[in-house]
A and B are shown apart, each in its own frame.
Chain A
């Protein structure tokens, strides 16, 4: 766990590794803390209708900002016992299949979808392989990408790889200031890149996994500020998150009313375009470096700018 004194010393400019430690802090508010504070009328809906009920990825109906929404989230425990029950927030295939079932349920009844991302990653066990972890995640991605209701996702802790993305293919993506979202954990990256998991802090920096990094790439829509780290001032973090979620959801439901078929087709098209644009490529040989810059695609609408690289290249 993070050393608070050490953290205070670096609080002015936390490093990426500081953010990793903050994102994983055991006292950081977890999904159910947000749910309890921000919603009413919660009805949890259990089970994938095929194998089991995953306690690491839960969902149900709730009232948020005056309307019924479907809520999904990874749930970590607050202590060792609860963490074991919650599998440390690592969902199994039945979790992703439940999530997909609840997404379809939301679509059927026109409930907007809110997801809370906080997982080290999908569980890598043998049982998960047997029951099709890869397939379950892929199908959740596919369903969420085409969902006929507005969706907002927020990273409240760790955004760990495909297990996070499986409930993250949303119309808006928010991150709290001290959270991370990465293709693999810094430890795994360090092990892959340098065969040394001990260089995780270095990997955290190199991989560009903080909310600020991803906002600069145009990959996320908003950073929810944490004036103090969320575990120190949980109410502030939850309140700020609730306000941001409500604002984005109001914008989306105003532009794409859930029961207007034409609007929903536009919503699907806009979401497809949102993910379709993610990339930064050149359509020419890399050797001619001045004349071929036209092919660079800005990450999203060019809003947050070109990939950093393009400036260097054209220089």
Chain B
């Protein structure tokens, strides 16, 4: 396993194998082209042939996003105390143990500090592999701690989400994380510290309807399923199938709900350019103020 994360202090766990890395599908589930020896797939979990954005574990995602070796994990040892003593078919506690064993993570959100194109950031990444990226009390608490750290240090917060919504097994403790995270983001806003939210496949429910929708800038990955109510819920409510694309990143862009769609491989450069606007120290007012560029060079994407 590559040691991208360069822990200075001892890591909470041995760095786990990336969840998505061990079961490399032989071919793209969308276009069928082989993914073996596909470098773009290897780094970004994106199919070179058709551009499909496939599932990516949060540690691999972080490695593909931040400056190499710059990630320092925070609060890696926060565990749910299972306040409902919840049991459905099996005790929630045992389910958590199983998820921890499989993913090597204490819960669904990884937080830490990192460099991104040289900009210091606080990073929070949800891992869909851990109970569907659902927001329980540990996810809420860690997101709030990340927001508070960003506020204290006055460095931008970046969250990357993939979540089915609430953690049913934590009942109202789960629901109230929506209020708790929104309150922390409000404080970050009030302090004038930038918050960028990245929505990936899938983003629904309580995560979408709280901190993930409160970014100063909100970007999404192409083709990501995003919505308040999941498609099955909406179909059940309507009693008929949904029109294609009604819960997509493209749909949200068209309806004015997000700022941009950014392919995964372009995210580091795009965020680097964006963050420069909020953190620049090179502003000068001693010249003409701008450099005229040749019209041809301006171009359009």
Contacts and interface: CB of A to CB of B under 8 A. Distances in A.
A301 B269 CA distance: 45
A162 B81 contact: no
A278 B81 CA distance: 12
B137 A126 contact: no
Interface string B126-157: 00000000000110110010000000000000
Contacts of B281: none
Contacts of B78: 281-283
A162 B137 contact: no
Contacts of A193: 88-89, 168
Interface-central residue, A123, A133, A143, A183, by most chain B CB under 10 Å:
A183
A171 B21 CA distance: 46
Interface string B71-92: 0000101111111111111000
Interface-central residue, B138, B175, B180, by most chain A CB under 10 Å:
B175
Interface residues of A, number: 63
Interface-central residue, B173, B177, B247, by most chain A CB under 10 Å:
B173
A15 B143 CA distance: 36
Given A162-B209, A183-B166, A279-B141, A133 B81 contact: no
Interface in A170-202: 181-184, 188-189, 192-194
Contacts of A53: none
B279 interface: no
B179 interface: yes
Given A161-B175, A207-B171, A133 B182 contact: no
A130 interface: yes
Interface string A292-305: 00001001000000
Contacts of A131: 255
B81 A309 contact: yes
A219 B79 contact: no
B186 interface: yes
B82 A309 contact: yes
Contacts of B251: 129-130
B83 A309 contact: yes
A219 B176 contact: yes
Given A138-B208, A183-B175, A280-B81, 5 more contacts: A134-B213, A142-B185, A182-B172, A272-B183, A309-B85
20 contacts: A126-B242, A129-B229, A132-B256, A134-B209, A135-B209, A135-B213, A139-B214, A145-B179, A145-B182, A145-B186, A146-B186, A162-B209, A183-B166, A194-B89, A209-B172, A214-B172, A278-B137, A278-B140, A279-B180, A280-B137
